[in-house]
C-alpha cells in the first residue's frame, strides 16, 4: 500500500521519465524522420505531467526522500510548462539552422525530470540525484551542435566547471551528514537546533557554493557568458528559465527545511552571493557586444535579486522569490524567442548591432523587444517592475534595507544596456533587411510581451495567491 501511494505521489516524474525512454526508442528506430512526432509527443508528455502534478496527491514518499507539497507542485507546473515551450522553440529553429535531431526534445524531458526531482528533494541524496540528472542533460544540450567550435567549447566548459561544483556539493553534503548523522532535512533541522548547529555551517557553505553554480550566482558565474554564447539559442532559452527556478526552489527548501534555526549564520553567505551577483551582472553587461552574453550577465544579476529574497528567511521572502522567478522566466523566454524569430542574410541575430533599425522592417518584433527590455530592467508598469517590488519589499520587511538599496542601485546601472538596445532598435539606421524566423518563436515572443503588459496586471493577484500557498509549505516565519 505504501509503495502504491509513493508511486501515485511521484506520478508526474514517472510520466516524464517513461515518456523520455519510449520516445528515445522511437527515435532510435525511426531516426530523424520521427523527429516532428517526437517533438509533438514531448510537448504532450510535459503538459500531461503538469496537469497530473497540479491535481495529484500531496505527501511524502520513499522514507521522506521525496516531498510533494504545495511548493513542489508550484515549481513543477512552472518547470513542465517552461520545458514544453523550450521544445516548441527548438523545433522550428533547429530545422532552420540545420541542427535538427530527435535527441533535443528527449534531453529536455530528462532535464525536466531532474528539475522535478530537485523541487521535491527531501534529503541530500535526492538533492544530488536531481541536480546531476538535470545537469548531464544540460551539458549535452550546450554542445548540441557538434560541428561548431564555440558549441563544443561551451559544452566542455560547462561540463568541467559543473564537475567542480558537483565536488563542492558532495563535500558539503558529506560534512552535513557527518555532523547531523542523517541525510534527511527534517533530521538535519533537529541537529541544527542542538549542539551541532555551528559545525553544520562548514558543510552548508560548501553546499551553497555548489548550488550557487547551478543558478550562475557570482562568484560561481564564470561558465555562464561562454555557455550562453556557444550553445544553440533555444537551448540557452531553456537554461535561462526552468533550471534556474528549480535550483532556487531547491536552495529555499534546503535552507528552510534543514537549516532554518541557524538562519542568522547562513544569511551572511546568501547575502554575499546576492550582492556579488547583481553587481557583477550589472557592470559586466555594460561592455558586451553579443546579445546572448548580455543576457547571461542579466541572468547573473537577476539571480542575485532572487537570492536577496531567500536571504530574508521568511515566508514572504520565498513567495517573492517564486513570483520573481516566474515573471523573469516569461520575460527571458520571450526575449530569446524574439531573437530566434529574426535573422539577417540567413545568419541568426546574435550581435547587439544586428538589432539596429529593426523598427523599419520588423516593427512588431521591435515593439516586443522594447516591451521585454523595459520589463527586465524593471520599468513600471511592466511585469519586471512588480517582480522587483516583491523582492525588494521582502528584503526590507526582513530588515535587509541596505542590501535592497544596493540591489536597486545595481538595477539602475543595468538599465543602461537595455536602454541601449531600445535606442539601437528605434533610432539607428538598419544595416539591411531581416528575414522572418519560425512562426512558433514569433508567437511565443508576442505572448511574453503581451503578458509583460498588460496581462500581468490581471495575473499578478492569481500568481500571488499560488506563490503564497507554495511558500507557506516550508513553514517559515
How do residues 160-202 score in pLDDT, each as one tens digit?
889 889 999 999 999 999 989 889 999 998 888 886 767 888 8
Boundaries of domain holding 442 = 260-477
**pLDDT on residue 301:** 93
Residue 324 lies in a domain: yes
pLDDT > 90: what percent of the chain?
Answer: 60
Q: How far apart, in whole angstroms, are the C-alpha atoms of residue 439 and residue 92?
A: 8
Question: Taking CA 467 as the corner, what is the angle to CA 462 and CA 470, rounded to the nearest 5 degrees?
Answer: 135
**pLDDT on residue 320:** 96
Q: How far apart, in whole angstroms, are the C-alpha atoms of residue 65 and residue 477?
A: 24
Residue 69's region, left for phi above 0, alpha for psi from -120 to 50, else beta, is beta
pLDDT band at 1 (very low <50, low <70, confident <90, very high): very low
**pLDDT on residue 152:** 86
Write out pLDDT tens, residues 27-72. Answer: 988 877 888 899 999 999 999 999 999 998 888 888 888 999 999 9
Residue 316 lies in a domain: yes
pLDDT band at 403 (very low <50, low <70, confident <90, very high): very high
**3-state SS, residue 68:** strand
Residue 179 lies in a domain: no
**pLDDT on residue 434:** 74
Q: How far apart, in whole angstroms, are the C-alpha atoms of residue 68 and residue 61?
A: 8
**3-state SS, residue 351:** strand
Q: How far apart, in whole angstroms, are the C-alpha atoms of residue 345 and residue 362?
A: 15
**pLDDT on residue 343:** 79
Residue 314 lies in a domain: yes
Count Cβ neighbours within 10 Å for each residue of 332-369 and write b for 16 or more, e otherwise.
bbbbbbbbbbbbbeeebbebbebbbbbbeebeebbbbb
**pLDDT on residue 417:** 87
State mean pLDDT over 451-472.
Answer: 93
Q: How far apart, in whole angstroms, are the C-alpha atoms of residue 4 and residue 59?
A: 13
Which one, of 112, 81, 94, lies nearest residue 35 by Cα? 94
Q: How far apart, in whole angstroms, are the C-alpha atoms of residue 275 and residue 279?
A: 6
Query: What rounded mean pLDDT belongs to the chain?
Result: 90
State mean pLDDT over 380-393.
Answer: 94
**pLDDT on residue 477:** 64
Write out pLDDT tens, residues 248-267. Answer: 999 999 999 888 888 888 99
Task: Name the domain count of the chain.
Answer: 1
Residue 387 lies in a domain: yes
Residue 29's region, left for phi above 0, alpha for psi from -120 to 50, else beta, is alpha
Residue 374 lies in a domain: yes
Instruction: Choose between 149 and 280: higher pLDDT.
Output: 280
pLDDT band at 154 (very low <50, low <70, confident <90, very high): confident
pLDDT(207) > 50? yes
State mean pLDDT over 143-151.
Answer: 82
pLDDT band at 274 (very low <50, low <70, confident <90, very high): very high
Q: Using H for helix, E for strand and C for coil, what is the string for 88-104?
A: HHHHHHHHHCCCCCCHH
Q: How far apart, in whole angstroms, are the C-alpha atoms of residue 270 and residue 218?
A: 11
CA 139 to chain CA mean position, Å: 15
156: exposed, middle or buried (C-beta count within 10 Å: 0-12, 13-18, 19+)?
middle
Least confident of 314-318, 414-418, 433-437: 433-437
Instruction: Choose between 375 and 100: higher pLDDT.
Output: 375
Q: How far apart, in whole angstroms, are the C-alpha atoms of residue 336 and residue 294?
A: 12
* C-alpha cell of residue 363: 516593427
**pLDDT on residue 428:** 83
Residue 229 lies in a domain: no
Residue 88 lies in a domain: no
Count Cβ neighbours within 10 Å for each residue of 32-67 and write b for 16 or more, e otherwise.
eebbeebbebbbebbebbbebbeebeeebbbebbbb
**pLDDT on residue 268:** 92
Q: How far apart, in whole angstroms, are the C-alpha atoms of residue 69 and residue 60?
A: 8
Q: Which residues are CB-neighbours of 114 under 8 A, at least 6 positions away?
A: 129, 130, 131, 132, 133, 134, 135, 136, 137, 246
pLDDT(293) > 60? yes
pLDDT(79) > 80? yes
**3-state SS, residue 290:** strand
Amino acid at each position: 500500500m505504501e509503495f502504491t501511494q509513493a508511486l501515485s505521489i511521484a506520478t508526474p516524474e514517472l510520466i516524464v521519465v517513461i515518456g523520455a525512454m519510449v520516445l528515445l526508442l522511437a527515435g532510435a528506430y525511426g531516426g530523424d524522420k520521427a523527429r516532428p512526432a517526437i517533438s509533438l509527443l514531448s510537448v504532450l508528455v510535459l503538459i500531461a505531467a503538469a496537469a497530473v502534478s497540479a491535481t495529484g496527491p500531496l505527501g511524502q514518499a520513499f522514507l521522506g526522500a521525496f516531498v510533494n507539497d504545495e511548493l513542489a507542485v508550484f515549481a513543477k507546473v512552472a518547470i513542465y510548462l517552461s520545458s514544453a515551450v523550450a521544445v516548441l522553440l527548438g523545433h522550428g529553429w533547429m530545422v532552420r539552422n540545420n541542427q535538427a535531431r530527435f535527441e533535443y526534445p528527449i534531453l529536455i524531458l530528462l532535464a525536466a525530470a531532474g528539475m522535478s526531482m530537485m523541487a521535491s528533494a527531501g534529503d541530500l541524496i535526492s538533492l544530488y540525484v536531481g541536480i546531476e540528472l538535470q545537469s548531464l542533460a544540460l551539458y549535452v544540450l550546450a554542445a548540441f551542435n557538434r560541428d561548431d567550435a564555440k558549441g563544443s567549447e561551451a559544452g566542455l566548459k560547462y561540463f568541467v566547471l559543473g564537475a567542480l561544483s558537483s565536488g563542492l556539493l558532495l563535500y558539503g553534503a558529506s560534512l552535513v551528514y557527518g555532523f547531523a548523522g542523517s541525510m534527511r532535512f527534517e533530521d538535519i533541522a533537529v541537529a541544527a537546533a542542538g549542539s551541532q548547529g555551528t559545525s553544520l555551517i562548514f558543510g552548508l557553505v560548501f553546499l551553497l557554493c555548489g548550488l550557487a553554480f547551478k543558478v550562475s550566482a557570482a562568484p560561481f558565474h564564470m561558465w555562464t557568458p561562454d555557455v550562453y554564447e556557444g550553445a544553440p539559442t533555444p537551448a540557452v532559452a531553456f537554461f535561462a528559465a526552468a533550471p534556474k527556478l528549480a535550483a532556487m526552489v531547491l536552495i529555499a527548501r534546503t535552507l528552510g527545511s534543514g537549516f532554518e534555526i541557524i538562519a542568522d549564520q547562513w544569511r551572511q553567505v546568501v547575502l554575499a552571493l546576492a550582492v556579488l551577483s547583481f553587481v557583477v551582472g550589472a557592470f559586466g553587461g555594460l561592455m558586451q557586444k553579443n546579445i546572448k552574453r548580455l543576457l547571461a550577465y542579466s541572468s547573473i544579476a537577476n539571480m542575485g535579486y532572487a537570492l536577496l529574497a531567500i536571504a530574508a528567511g521568511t515566508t514572504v521572502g520565498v513567495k517573492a522569490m517564486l513570483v520573481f522567478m516566474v515573471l523573469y522566466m516569461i520575460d527571458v523566454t520571450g526575449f530569446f524567442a524574439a531573437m530566434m524569430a529574426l535573422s539577417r542574410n540567413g545568419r541568426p541575430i546574435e550581435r547587439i548591432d544586428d538589432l539596429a533599425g529593426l523598427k523599419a522592417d520588423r516593427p512588431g518584433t521591435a515593439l516586443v523587444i522594447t516591451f521585454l527590455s523595459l520589463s527586465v530592467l524593471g520599468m513600471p508598469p511592466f511585469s519586471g517592475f512588480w517582480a522587483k517590488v516583491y523582492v525588494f519589499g521582502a528584503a526590507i520587511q526582513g530588515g535587509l534595507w541596505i542590501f535592497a538599496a544596493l540591489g536597486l542601485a545595481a538595477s539602475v546601472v543595468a538599465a543602461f544596456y537595455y536602454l541601449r538596445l531600445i535606442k539601437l532598435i528605434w533610432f539607428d539606421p538598419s544595416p539591411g533587411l531581416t528575414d522572418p524566423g519560425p512562426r512558433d518563436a514569433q508567437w511565443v515572443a508576442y505572448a511574453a510581451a503581451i503578458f509583460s503588459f498588460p496581462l500581468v496586471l490581471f495575473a499578478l493577484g492569481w500568481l500571488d495567491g499560488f506563490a503564497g500557498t507554495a511558500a507557506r509549505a516550508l513553514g517559515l516565519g
